[in-house]
Amino acid sequence: MTQTDNPKNSPGTLKKLTTALESTEIPLTVYAVIFATMALLWVFQAIHPDLTLGLFTELLGAAFTLFIIDSLLVRSKANRWKVVRTHIDYLISRHVNRLRDGIAGRAFGFDPEITDSLPDADQQERIRAERARFLQDLERLPAEELVARLSDKNLFTDSSYEYFQEKARDLWDILNMKYSEYMDPIMVSSLMKLHTHLSDVCSHIRQYRKADRLTDQAAYYHNIGRNGISNSLLRAIELVNDLKRRGYSEAATLR
Protein backbone atom coordinates (compact mmCIF):
# COMPACT_ATOMS: atom_id res chain seq x y z
CA MET A 1 0.00 0.00 0.00
CA THR A 2 1.41 3.37 -1.01
CA GLN A 3 1.28 6.46 1.15
CA THR A 4 -1.54 7.92 -0.92
CA ASP A 5 -3.52 4.68 -0.54
CA ASN A 6 -3.31 4.81 3.25
CA PRO A 7 -6.60 6.23 4.59
CA LYS A 8 -4.75 7.68 7.57
CA ASN A 9 -2.88 9.96 5.17
CA SER A 10 -5.91 10.90 3.05
CA PRO A 11 -6.79 14.60 2.66
CA GLY A 12 -10.21 13.89 4.16
CA THR A 13 -8.70 12.49 7.35
CA LEU A 14 -6.29 15.41 7.67
CA LYS A 15 -9.12 17.88 7.07
CA LYS A 16 -11.24 16.27 9.79
CA LEU A 17 -8.32 16.36 12.23
CA THR A 18 -7.62 20.01 11.43
CA THR A 19 -11.30 20.89 11.89
CA ALA A 20 -11.38 19.08 15.22
CA LEU A 21 -8.30 20.94 16.46
CA GLU A 22 -9.67 24.31 15.31
CA SER A 23 -13.05 23.74 16.99
CA THR A 24 -11.74 22.38 20.29
CA GLU A 25 -13.01 23.99 23.49
CA ILE A 26 -9.78 23.10 25.33
CA PRO A 27 -6.63 25.16 24.60
CA LEU A 28 -4.12 23.21 22.52
CA THR A 29 -1.43 24.17 25.04
CA VAL A 30 -3.09 21.79 27.52
CA TYR A 31 -2.57 18.89 25.13
CA ALA A 32 0.95 20.11 24.37
CA VAL A 33 1.90 20.15 28.06
CA ILE A 34 0.46 16.68 28.63
CA PHE A 35 2.28 15.11 25.69
CA ALA A 36 5.53 16.96 26.48
CA THR A 37 5.41 15.59 30.04
CA MET A 38 4.69 12.11 28.69
CA ALA A 39 7.72 12.39 26.43
CA LEU A 40 9.94 13.37 29.37
CA LEU A 41 8.62 10.48 31.46
CA TRP A 42 9.36 8.09 28.62
CA VAL A 43 12.92 9.40 28.36
CA PHE A 44 13.59 9.13 32.13
CA GLN A 45 11.76 5.84 32.72
CA ALA A 46 15.08 4.06 33.38
CA ILE A 47 15.57 6.09 36.60
CA HIS A 48 12.36 4.94 38.25
CA PRO A 49 10.42 2.67 35.88
CA ASP A 50 7.41 1.96 38.16
CA LEU A 51 6.76 5.62 38.98
CA THR A 52 7.28 6.90 35.43
CA LEU A 53 5.14 4.15 33.92
CA GLY A 54 2.29 4.94 36.32
CA LEU A 55 2.46 8.67 35.63
CA PHE A 56 2.75 8.02 31.91
CA THR A 57 -0.39 5.87 31.96
CA GLU A 58 -2.32 8.44 34.02
CA LEU A 59 -1.39 11.26 31.64
CA LEU A 60 -2.30 9.18 28.60
CA GLY A 61 -5.70 8.44 30.13
CA ALA A 62 -6.21 12.12 30.97
CA ALA A 63 -5.38 13.20 27.43
CA PHE A 64 -7.72 10.59 25.97
CA THR A 65 -10.54 11.59 28.33
CA LEU A 66 -10.11 15.28 27.56
CA PHE A 67 -10.17 14.63 23.83
CA ILE A 68 -13.30 12.44 23.96
CA ILE A 69 -15.23 14.79 26.25
CA ASP A 70 -14.16 17.82 24.21
CA SER A 71 -15.23 16.15 20.95
CA LEU A 72 -18.63 15.29 22.41
CA LEU A 73 -19.12 18.83 23.71
CA VAL A 74 -18.18 20.42 20.39
CA ARG A 75 -20.37 18.03 18.42
CA SER A 76 -23.31 18.56 20.75
CA LYS A 77 -23.00 22.36 20.54
CA ALA A 78 -22.67 22.22 16.75
CA ASN A 79 -25.84 20.14 16.45
CA ARG A 80 -27.80 22.41 18.81
CA TRP A 81 -26.86 25.57 16.92
CA LYS A 82 -27.05 24.18 13.39
CA VAL A 83 -30.37 25.91 12.69
CA VAL A 84 -28.90 29.22 13.90
CA ARG A 85 -25.84 28.87 11.68
CA THR A 86 -28.09 28.03 8.74
CA HIS A 87 -30.05 31.26 9.18
CA ILE A 88 -26.88 33.33 9.68
CA ASP A 89 -25.55 31.87 6.42
CA TYR A 90 -28.80 32.90 4.74
CA LEU A 91 -28.52 36.46 6.11
CA ILE A 92 -24.95 36.71 4.84
CA SER A 93 -25.99 35.38 1.43
CA ARG A 94 -28.81 37.93 1.14
CA HIS A 95 -26.57 40.84 2.19
CA VAL A 96 -23.85 39.76 -0.26
CA ASN A 97 -26.35 39.44 -3.11
CA ARG A 98 -27.77 42.93 -2.48
CA LEU A 99 -24.28 44.36 -2.21
CA ARG A 100 -23.20 42.77 -5.48
CA ASP A 101 -26.22 44.38 -7.12
CA GLY A 102 -25.42 47.77 -5.58
CA ILE A 103 -21.76 47.72 -6.56
CA ALA A 104 -22.52 46.68 -10.14
CA GLY A 105 -25.37 49.17 -10.64
CA ARG A 106 -24.45 52.20 -8.56
CA ALA A 107 -20.68 52.17 -9.01
CA PHE A 108 -20.35 50.86 -12.58
CA GLY A 109 -23.74 51.43 -14.22
CA PHE A 110 -24.63 47.77 -14.74
CA ASP A 111 -27.87 47.76 -16.75
CA PRO A 112 -28.93 44.25 -17.81
CA GLU A 113 -31.18 43.67 -20.77
CA ILE A 114 -34.70 42.56 -19.79
CA THR A 115 -36.34 39.89 -21.95
CA ASP A 116 -40.12 40.14 -21.61
CA SER A 117 -40.71 36.62 -22.88
CA LEU A 118 -38.94 34.98 -19.93
CA PRO A 119 -40.73 34.07 -16.68
CA ASP A 120 -39.71 36.23 -13.72
CA ALA A 121 -37.69 33.50 -11.99
CA ASP A 122 -35.77 32.66 -15.18
CA GLN A 123 -35.24 36.37 -15.83
CA GLN A 124 -33.78 36.76 -12.36
CA GLU A 125 -31.34 33.88 -12.87
CA ARG A 126 -30.25 35.27 -16.26
CA ILE A 127 -29.60 38.72 -14.75
CA ARG A 128 -27.68 37.18 -11.84
CA ALA A 129 -25.49 35.23 -14.28
CA GLU A 130 -24.88 38.36 -16.37
CA ARG A 131 -24.03 40.36 -13.23
CA ALA A 132 -21.62 37.63 -12.09
CA ARG A 133 -19.73 37.85 -15.40
CA PHE A 134 -19.75 41.65 -15.17
CA LEU A 135 -18.17 41.65 -11.69
CA GLN A 136 -15.67 38.96 -12.63
CA ASP A 137 -14.54 41.10 -15.57
CA LEU A 138 -14.17 44.13 -13.26
CA GLU A 139 -12.08 42.10 -10.82
CA ARG A 140 -9.53 41.43 -13.56
CA LEU A 141 -9.18 45.07 -14.65
CA PRO A 142 -6.05 47.10 -13.78
CA ALA A 143 -6.61 50.10 -11.51
CA GLU A 144 -6.52 52.76 -14.24
CA GLU A 145 -9.16 50.94 -16.33
CA LEU A 146 -11.35 50.40 -13.28
CA VAL A 147 -11.30 54.15 -12.57
CA ALA A 148 -12.42 54.81 -16.14
CA ARG A 149 -15.41 52.48 -15.68
CA LEU A 150 -16.78 54.33 -12.62
CA SER A 151 -20.26 55.79 -12.98
CA ASP A 152 -19.55 59.17 -11.37
CA LYS A 153 -23.09 60.47 -11.83
CA ASN A 154 -24.62 57.65 -9.74
CA LEU A 155 -21.73 56.83 -7.42
CA PHE A 156 -20.77 60.18 -5.90
CA THR A 157 -24.20 61.04 -4.56
CA ASP A 158 -25.85 61.24 -1.16
CA SER A 159 -27.98 58.26 -2.12
CA SER A 160 -24.96 56.04 -2.84
CA TYR A 161 -23.20 57.24 0.29
CA GLU A 162 -26.23 56.25 2.40
CA TYR A 163 -26.51 52.95 0.53
CA PHE A 164 -22.93 51.82 1.14
CA GLN A 165 -23.04 53.08 4.71
CA GLU A 166 -26.18 51.00 5.29
CA LYS A 167 -24.53 47.89 3.81
CA ALA A 168 -21.48 48.40 6.03
CA ARG A 169 -23.79 48.62 9.06
CA ASP A 170 -25.64 45.46 7.98
CA LEU A 171 -22.37 43.52 7.95
CA TRP A 172 -21.35 44.99 11.30
CA ASP A 173 -24.68 43.93 12.79
CA ILE A 174 -24.03 40.34 11.70
CA LEU A 175 -20.53 40.40 13.18
CA ASN A 176 -21.90 41.67 16.47
CA MET A 177 -24.76 39.21 16.73
CA LYS A 178 -24.88 37.14 19.89
CA TYR A 179 -24.44 33.99 17.82
CA SER A 180 -21.53 35.13 15.64
CA GLU A 181 -19.16 32.99 17.72
CA TYR A 182 -20.53 30.00 15.80
CA MET A 183 -19.38 31.45 12.49
CA ASP A 184 -16.33 30.23 10.62
CA PRO A 185 -13.32 32.46 11.54
CA ILE A 186 -12.46 32.83 7.84
CA MET A 187 -16.00 34.08 7.19
CA VAL A 188 -15.72 36.56 10.07
CA SER A 189 -12.44 37.84 8.62
CA SER A 190 -14.00 38.26 5.15
CA LEU A 191 -16.97 40.18 6.53
CA MET A 192 -14.72 42.44 8.61
CA LYS A 193 -12.60 43.24 5.55
CA LEU A 194 -15.73 43.88 3.47
CA HIS A 195 -17.11 46.19 6.16
CA THR A 196 -13.83 48.11 6.20
CA HIS A 197 -13.75 48.56 2.42
CA LEU A 198 -17.38 49.71 2.32
CA SER A 199 -16.63 52.25 5.05
CA ASP A 200 -13.68 53.43 2.93
CA VAL A 201 -16.00 53.77 -0.08
CA CYS A 202 -18.10 56.17 1.97
CA SER A 203 -14.98 58.12 2.96
CA HIS A 204 -13.93 58.47 -0.68
CA ILE A 205 -17.41 59.69 -1.65
CA ARG A 206 -17.07 62.40 1.01
CA GLN A 207 -13.66 63.34 -0.36
CA TYR A 208 -15.07 63.62 -3.88
CA ARG A 209 -18.00 65.74 -2.65
CA LYS A 210 -15.63 68.25 -1.01
CA ALA A 211 -15.25 69.67 -4.51
CA ASP A 212 -18.80 71.03 -4.20
CA ARG A 213 -17.60 73.35 -1.42
CA LEU A 214 -13.97 73.86 -2.35
CA THR A 215 -14.41 74.68 -6.00
CA ASP A 216 -10.88 75.99 -6.45
CA GLN A 217 -9.50 72.53 -5.63
CA ALA A 218 -12.31 70.59 -7.33
CA ALA A 219 -9.99 68.68 -9.68
CA TYR A 220 -7.83 67.53 -6.76
CA TYR A 221 -10.74 66.22 -4.69
CA HIS A 222 -12.35 64.56 -7.69
CA ASN A 223 -9.08 62.83 -8.52
CA ILE A 224 -8.30 61.47 -5.05
CA GLY A 225 -11.93 60.49 -4.57
CA ARG A 226 -12.07 58.48 -7.79
CA ASN A 227 -8.67 56.83 -7.30
CA GLY A 228 -9.39 55.94 -3.70
CA ILE A 229 -12.86 54.57 -4.33
CA SER A 230 -11.69 52.43 -7.25
CA ASN A 231 -9.18 50.72 -4.97
CA SER A 232 -11.75 50.13 -2.20
CA LEU A 233 -14.35 48.89 -4.68
CA LEU A 234 -11.86 46.49 -6.27
CA ARG A 235 -11.12 44.96 -2.84
CA ALA A 236 -14.87 44.73 -2.17
CA ILE A 237 -15.50 43.11 -5.56
CA GLU A 238 -12.81 40.52 -4.88
CA LEU A 239 -14.45 39.69 -1.55
CA VAL A 240 -18.05 39.45 -2.82
CA ASN A 241 -16.90 37.35 -5.79
CA ASP A 242 -15.07 35.03 -3.41
CA LEU A 243 -18.11 34.81 -1.14
CA LYS A 244 -20.29 33.96 -4.14
CA ARG A 245 -17.88 31.21 -5.18
CA ARG A 246 -18.24 29.83 -1.64
CA GLY A 247 -22.03 29.83 -2.02
CA TYR A 248 -22.82 33.07 -0.19
CA SER A 249 -25.01 35.01 -2.61
CA GLU A 250 -28.73 34.37 -2.65
CA ALA A 251 -31.59 36.32 -4.15
CA ALA A 252 -34.97 36.64 -2.47
CA THR A 253 -37.21 33.84 -3.67
CA LEU A 254 -39.92 34.70 -6.20
CA ARG A 255 -41.94 31.52 -5.73
Domain of residue 21 covers 7-80
The pLDDT tens digits of the residues spanning 58-110 come to 766 776 676 666 666 666 666 666 777 788 888 899 999 999 999 999 999 99
Give per-residue pLDDT as tens, 164-196: 999 999 999 988 876 666 678 888 899 999 999
34 and 120 in a single domain? The answer is no
pTM of this prediction?
0.70
Does 181 lie in the same domain as 125?
Answer: yes
Q: How many structural domains compose the chain?
A: 2
Angle at Cα 203 formed by Cα 202 and Cα 207, nearest 5°?
A: 115
Q: Clarify whether residues 110 and 222 are in a common domain.
A: yes
One domain for residues 100 and 29: no
- Mean predicted lDDT score pLDDT of the chain: 80
CA nearest to 89, candidates 166, 23, 184: 184
Q: What per-residue confidence (pLDDT) applies to 179?
A: 64
> Among 48, 80, 112, where does a domain finish?
80
Residue that finishes a domain, picked among 59, 80, 101: 80
Is the same domain home to 73 and 89?
A: no
How far apart are alpha carbons 194 and 199 in whole angstroms?
9
* Contact status, residue 10 vs residue 45, Cβ threshold 8 Å: no
Are residue 74 and residue 93 in the same domain, yes or no?
no
Do 113 and 202 lie in a common domain? yes
Q: What is the mean pLDDT of residues 1-21?
A: 47
